[in-house]
Amino acid sequence: MTTEIQATAASSGAGATARFRENKQIGAGTSQERVNALAGRLIKAVNDIVLDEKVSYDEYNAFKAWLISVGETGEWPLFLDVWVEHSVEEVANANRHGTKGTIEGPYYIPDSPTQNTPATLPMREDEPGTPLLFQGQAKNVAGEPLAGALIELWHADDLGFYSQFAPGLPEWNLRGSIIADAEGNFEINTMQPAPYQIPTDGACGALIAAAGWHAWRPAHLHFKVSAPGHQPITTQLYFEGGEHVVDDIASAVKPELILAPTRRADGRGREVTYDFILDPQD
């Protein structure tokens, strides 16, 4: 039987590409003028690098081969989400006054199993790791509770793998959609995730090795939080003192998104409280 530790870049990349095509609306309405401006600047930037750095034919051909490899392994979602999405997110959320956003990443799956609070994410009977109680309140920017807010949570397991992107894991392992109570309060029992390397056996890993970079993301929880009449927020929360919080390969960590869990009074793992603040709909 194939296990999660046998996950490959190609299988993860193919899964991420397939999910992207299923779940994303491509911006077909973008004007010709806008495409001209953006594509023109991108092409000019590449050519400027070639001229400024005096790129050789050997280097150019290596780059061409690498681009082909990214496509063949389905790693474009991984590449773009790791090295580009943080800038897109910064533009998208520049005018928010509530909770800080950050990247979605390539491993989001919609329509995870729904539960009312208090909730426990789906997990294996022997799920490894440290139990974590994540609790808080969903509010608007005026501090008023958002009754029935929806908190979508997904994260890697204690080995750094995501369900539906690594073999051997239950379909909805450590994924769930939790409905807050009438006061916007929620309690979610899960396991604290581990830091993990992005897949390194494919094209992205080849780039990382060639450039002498590291491939690590700090441990984090992914969230999408929404409520009627308010802008949904996509974010990640990290852990104080965790490995690679200060040098995340995806450049997605923000000071406002760092948690400081404490030991639970009953000794059963850790707990932390964090409130989500949503901006009004435009």
Contact 107, 174 (CB under 8 A): no
**CA 262 → CA 36, 131, 133, 151, 224, distances in Å?**
52, 12, 10, 22, 24
Residue 63 maps to a domain: no
Indicate which CATH number applies to the domain containing 241.
Answer: 2.60.130.10
Tokens of 110: 């919609």
pLDDT for the residue 50: 97
Residue 102 maps to a domain: yes
Q: What would the pLDDT profile of 196-223 be if each residue is shown by its tens digit?
A: 998 888 999 999 999 999 999 999 999 9
Residue 42 maps to a domain: no
Q: What would the pLDDT profile of 177-203 be if each residue is shown by its tens digit?
A: 999 999 999 999 999 999 999 888 899
Give the residue from 124, 200, 106 showing the smallest Cα distance to 169: 124
pLDDT in tens, the chain (282 residues): 455 555 555 566 566 666 666 766 665 678 899 999 999 999 999 999 999 999 999 999 999 999 999 999 889 989 999 999 999 999 999 999 999 999 999 899 999 999 999 999 999 999 999 999 999 999 999 999 999 999 999 999 999 999 999 889 999 999 999 999 999 999 999 999 999 998 888 999 999 999 999 999 999 999 999 999 999 999 999 999 999 999 999 999 999 999 999 999 888 899 999 999 999 998
Length of the chain: 282
Tokens of 116: 């009312």
Distance CA 14, CA 75 (A): 7
CB-facing half-sphere around the CA of 91: CA atoms within 13 A: 4
Residue 34 maps to a domain: no
How many domains would you assign to the chain?
A: 1
Residue 158 maps to a domain: yes
Q: How many CB atoms lie under 10 A from the CB of residue 126?
A: 5
Q: Which amino acid is at 75?
A: E
- Bridge partner residues of 151 (DSSP): 178, 225
Q: What residues contact residue 174 under an 8 Å CB cut-off, 6+ apart? A: 121, 122, 123, 127, 154, 155, 156, 157, 162, 163, 190, 191, 193
Contact 224, 176 (CB under 8 A): no
Residue 47 maps to a domain: no
Residue 161 maps to a domain: yes
Residue 16 maps to a domain: no
The 10 Å CB-count burial string (b at 16+, else e) for 132-161 is bbbbbbbbbeeeebbeebbbbbbbbbbbbb
Range of the domain at 162: 91-278
DSSP labels, the chain: ---GGG--HHHHHHHHHHHHHHH----TT--HHHHHHHHHHHHHHHHHHHHHHT--HHHHHHHHHHHHHHHHTT-HHHHHHHHTHHHHHHHHTTT--SSPP----S---SSPPEEESSEE----TT--S-EEEEEEEEEETTS-B-TT-EEEEE---TTS--TTSSTTS-TTTTEEEEE--TTSEEEEEEE----EEPP-SSHHHHHHHHHT---EE--EEEEEEE-TTB--EEEEEEETT-TTSSS-TT----GGGEE--EE-TTSSSEEEE--EEEPBP-
Tokens of 260: 């400081």
